[in-house]
Amino acid sequence: MSTNYVRKPEWLKIKLNTNEQYTGLKKMMREKKLHTVCEEAKCPNIHECWAVRKTATFMILGSICTRACRFCAVQTGLPTELDWEEPERVADSVEKMGLKHVVITAVARDDLKDGGAKVFAETIRAVRRRNPFCSIEVLPSDMKGEYDNLKTLMDASPDILNHNIETVKRLSPKVRARATYERSLAFLRRAKEMNASIPTKSSIMIGLGETKEEIIETMDNLRANHVDIVTIGQYLQPTKHHLKVQKYWSPKEFEELKTIAMSKGFSHCEAGPLVRSSYHADEQVKAANGKCANEIGVALGVEGP
């Protein structure tokens, strides 16, 4: 890859909003000893989501990841023991925030036999008990590709199963640690096989040296494995120790990619320079659920809505 610095374009400037909603939410997270991927991964949309949309992505299973992906700012190392009170604290926070849609993600826990699946499942159940009208999206690692781990998670019935492919096949070995392109596709396919009524979702970050043709190939691979929703965003280098940006894709190019994605049969596509996997996640639920219901209806010979 080139070592030349690529200047950040004007369209990536972020408007900061640190109103009472933002500061109040940040205070509550610290008081409850909760982590958010919004902070840990240096998400560019944190001010919009926290201060305006009143949404957040909770990161369970601690803040230390067992993997060292070359694009990610989350701390790598040896995680601490499990906190079995965490699911109830997340549920309580969701209730106090009055969320209608919550995203629950986690660091990769390859040190655990189940990859953290049991804590994920308990968090889903705790949130649902306390917040019956809140839809729940989960964003796990591949949990080492173990069938039983995914089964534990899917048996808790999240409303959306989100797992990120991250990049195109050619770049995957360089960009990701331990995870593989094919294993991620298998993870998404198995989730559908376990429960076809639960929408699946994945994300691609671009700007790492991929071609347009490779992005389209990744879309085709996701659709071949029955993924319903795709998000496409610009990779931003979090620190000087991470992979360098090779290209900043323009808003016009993102619009074109969104059009292509929708023509492939995705129920929803978010594509833009600042789009991240959980960006506007609350707006994607209805479209995905409607598509799944229709596809199941067709399979059963019943006319959809």
Mind listing the pLDDT tens digit for each residue in 143-169?
A: 999 999 999 999 999 999 999 999 999
Mind listing the pLDDT tens digit for each residue in 53-72?
A: 556 688 899 888 899 888 78
**Dist. CA 104–CA 120, nearest whole Å:** 8
**Dist. CA 226–CA 229, nearest whole Å:** 9
Domain boundaries defined on the chain? 15-300
**Dist. CA 68–CA 34, nearest whole Å:** 22
**Dist. CA 217–CA 22, nearest whole Å:** 39
8 A C-beta contact, residue 173 and residue 71: no
Mind listing the pLDDT tens digit for each residue in 79-116?
A: 877 889 999 999 998 888 778 888 899 989 999 999 99
Phi, psi for 249 (deg, rounded to 5): -75, 140
**Dist. CA 183–CA 181, nearest whole Å:** 6
* Best CA proximity match to 102, nearest among 228, 281, 296: 281
- In 3-state terms the chain splits into helix, strand, coil percentages (rounded to 5) of 40, 15, 45
- Average the pLDDT over 35-54 and give the result: 54
Ordered strands of the 229-234 beta sheet: 35-36, 57-60, 101-106, 135-139, 160-162, 200-206, 229-234, 268-272
The more confident residue out of 256 and 22 is: 256
Q: How far is CA 27 from CA 38, 226, 276, 305, in A?
A: 14, 40, 24, 44
Domain 15-300 part of CATH 3.20.20.70:
yes
8 A C-beta contact, residue 268 and residue 231: no
Q: How much is the pTM?
A: 0.83
Q: Within 10 Å of residue 216's Cβ, how many Cβ atoms?
A: 15
Three-state SS annotation for 73-124 = CCCECCCCCCCCCHHHHHHHHHHHHCCCEEEEEECCCCCCCCCCHHHHHHHH
> Over 50: is that where the pLDDT of 296 sits?
no
* Best CA proximity match to 229, nearest among 210, 202, 251: 202
- Average the pLDDT over 209-221 and give the result: 98
**Dist. CA 298–CA 300, nearest whole Å:** 5
